[in-house]
Chains A and B, each alone.
Chain A
Amino acid sequence: MRNRKSRFLTQFLTRKDKMAYSMSVAEAKAFLRKVREDQIRCSKKIVDIWEEVLVKNSFSLGEEVWLVYEQVCLAALDCAQLDIAEGCYQALKAQFPNSLRVRKLEGMILEAEEEYDRAMAIYEDILEKDETNAIATKRIIAILKAQNKIQDAVEKLNKYLKEHSLDTEAWLELCDMYLHELDYNKAAFCIEECILSNPHNHLYHQKLGEIKYSQCEYQEARSYFAHAAKLNPNNMRALFGLHLSATNLVSSQKGTQKTENARHAAWAAKQIKDRYKTQLGKNRSGDVKIVEDMLEALKMSSS
């Protein structure tokens, strides 16, 4: 078995430049801070920036260095570069020997190596010390998800949500798990909980519209897509969804409702074409025809 600490050092000493990242230390710091705030998952870039720029200048990070170590550790786990992750973990453990957050990192490193039993043992140990620790519960659910034991994960997540019912992240995770099991009713319920707590988020309305569309409830789907498009007129998926659900309703309804829905579909199609036109600009206005043809094809297949 490799000695990971020594591999971390030898890699640092014998590194060949793979990617020329011409970022200054300040730019790298700012980039990592932005990624932390926006919770973007661009792990390869983080690891590259760490290797090119920051590992030699870690003293210039000041107090942020611990946050950066944690961030780089998680990014390295995504990129399967376990030696970097182990190095960051050792640094954090030396600074914060009794921290539960650092223990969680230890568990995640074991998860990345697929040693799920040992990772589970660590999380259960954390839960013994602190029963309300949400992070350990969520990691146990993530382990079950990684092992493809979706039913058990759903059970545990339901139990967690009974106590912490305002956790939007957990509701979204449960929604995705139900969608994986093709249980649309329960998935719709989960996303409705998210909408209750964030009624202005157009993406939740769009997702609920998509779930309703999958259940063939075109009327409700149309209203959710319309709401999403109202909240954010640039949401292409909502516009497409609105067009499709209105077109589906046209074929099944009669009279005034039919003309209404035809109008909605035409409006959505126009919005989509306009957005493609502005994006493509003057030089590629011929490509807009491709979009128009596609919208026509959608119309024909659903009627």
Chain B
Amino acid sequence: MLLTMAWSVNNLFVIIGLVSLGHAAYSATQHRTYLRLTEQEFTWLPADILAQCVLSLLLTCYGIVQVSGEFKDIRAAGELENKTWETLSNRPSFYTFNHRGKALYADMEDHMQEDVS
């Protein structure tokens, strides 16, 4: 999918942001392991890891918003606009069958055989 997508700056932002976020997470776990090995207390992550985390989050958010395109309006009656009056006024529970369909759509072969017999 990566190869077939149309490349743009925003796609690049998203990918760089995600990679950077992953890198920040990896650095954080590395830092904690280091503290555990040297038997120091864990209070704060170093400032650079925090900064990388926040900046990559913002970059990813910006990139995704740009990639996903224009927001559509939430129209309450959106789906109804495409339906016709005839279809919306169909009431399947109350269908009756004494209409012109008998004359229009009945099988002509049946009628012809009835006349012959």
Asked if A237 lies at the interface with its beta carbon under 8 angstroms from chain B, I say yes
Are B97 and A78 in contact (CB-based, < 8 A)? yes
Residue of A80, A139, A170 near B106 (CB, 8 A) is A80
B72 interface contact, C-beta 8 A: no
Contacts A112-B97, A146-B98; A201 near B77 (Cβ below 8 A): yes
The verdict on A232 contacting B96 (CB below 8 Å), with A79-B101, A80-B105 known, is: no
Name the CB-closest residue of A to B86: A41
User: Would you call the interface of chain A mostly helix, strand, loop, or mixed?
Assistant: helix
Contact A232 B81 (CB under 8 A): yes
Indicate if the CB atoms of A81 and B105 lie closer than 8 Å. yes
Some 19 contacts from A to B, beta carbons below 8 A apart, are A11-B107, A39-B92, A41-B86, A41-B95, A43-B105, A44-B101, A44-B105, A81-B107, A83-B110, A111-B96, A142-B96, A146-B96, A169-B93, A172-B91, A200-B77, A200-B80, A202-B81, A232-B80, A234-B81
Q: Which residue of A lies closest to B83 (CB)?
A: A38
Assess the B87–A38 pair: CB atoms within 8 A: yes
**A268 CB, nearest partner CB in chain B, Å:** 18
- Inter-chain contact B96/A169, CB cutoff 8 Å: no
Expressed in whole angstroms, the minimum distance between the Cβ of A138 and any Cβ of chain B is: 4
On whether A141 and B94 interact (CB within 8 A), knowing A43-B105, A44-B105, A80-B101, the answer reads yes
Query: In the complex the two chains form, is A172's CB within 8 Å of B105's CB?
Result: no
Nearest B residue (CB) for A204:
B88
Closest B residue by C-beta to A168: B91
Nearest-neighbour CB distance to chain A for B92, whole angstroms, equals 6
Interface pair A173/B94, CB less than 8 Å apart: yes
> Quick one: closest B residue to A74, CB to CB?
B95
A231 at the interface (CB under 8 A from B): yes
Chain A interface residue number, banded:
35 or more
> Which residues of B sit under 8 angstroms from A226, Cβ to Cβ?
none
B96: chain A residues at CB < 8 Å are 111, 142, 145-146
* Pairwise interchain contact B91-A203, C-beta atoms closer than 8 A: no
Q: Closest CB-CB distance, A179 to chain B, in whole Å?
A: 12
Question: Does A20 belong to the interface (CB within 8 Å)?
Answer: no
Q: In the complex, which residues of chain B have a beta carbon less than 8 angstroms from the beta carbon of A108?
A: 95, 97
B110 CB contacts on chain A under 8 angstroms: 7, 83
Also in contact, A200 and B105, with CB within 8 A (given A114-B98, A169-B91, A237-B85): no
Q: Which of A38, A80, A232 has the most CB of B within 10 A?
A: A80
Q: List A residues 41-91 near B (Cβ within 8 Å).
A: 41, 43-44, 47, 74, 77-81, 83
Judge whether A40 is part of the interface by a CB distance below 8 angstroms.
Answer: yes
Q: Is the CB of A40 within 8 A of B87?
A: yes
B89 sits at the interface (CB 8 A):
yes
Per the bound structure, the CA–CA distance linking A141 and B96 in Å amounts to 10
State whether A138 and B105 are in contact (beta carbons under 8 Å apart), knowing that A38-B87, A40-B87 are contacts in the complex: no
